[in-house]
Each structure stands twice: as structure tokens, then as C-alpha cells.
Amino acid sequence: IKTNTVVNQSSVLGSLLIYMLPLLLLVGLFVMFSRMQGGGGRMGFGFGKSKAKQLGKDMPKTTFADVAGVDEAVEELYEIKDFL
């Protein structure tokens, strides 16, 4: 019995391209979405960015003692408490 075996040897470059193409596509999508979010690829979609505001020296420093007798301030605090 005589058999003929044909072996298709694809090039290393072709195999590498087939395996790398999906990876490059995913990386490209990640970069595109990160830029759409405004992160520009920094810090991964904006994680770690603090939105807290720092008080400057010229900012007013109002304490509870300053507004203790003001009924409007008490009402505002009750509204905030009810909201939360």
C-alpha cells in the first residue's frame, strides 16, 4: 500500500500573524475606549483620579458653632439627612 502524505508548512510569519492579530485588535479597542473616556490611556479608564477638591487658604471655614442659631442651616441639614 502506497500513501502520499502532503504536509503544508505555513511560514512562521503567517502563523505569528494569525495569533497576534486578535491580540492587536483587543489592544487597539482598549486604547480607543480609554481615549473616549478621557483617560488617554493613563491610569486605566481614570481609576485613581480623585475628584475631591482641596480647600485653599482663601476658602471660608464655616463651623457648626458659626451656624448654631440659624434656623435655615438646621433645615438644610435635615434636608440633607432625609436625602441620604
64 lies in which domain range? 12-83
Give per-residue pLDDT as tens, 21-77. 999 999 999 988 888 776 544 555 555 666 667 767 777 777 777 777 778 887 888
User: Is residue 6 in a domain?
Assistant: no
Please identify which residue in the block is written with the cell numbers 480607543. 32
Residue 72 lies in a domain: yes
Q: Which pLDDT belongs to residue 42?
A: 52
Amino acid identity for residue 61 in this structure: K
Number of domains in the chain: 1
Q: H helices within the chain, ranges in order?
A: 12-36, 43-46, 71-83
Residue 18 domain-assigned? yes
Among residues 24, 18, 50, the alpha carbon closest in space to that of 32 is found at 24
Read off the pTM.
0.35
* Residue 25 located in a structural domain: yes
Query: Is residue 70 a part of any domain in this protein?
Result: yes
69, part of any domain: yes
Q: Length of the chain, please?
A: 84
In a domain, 45, yes or no: yes
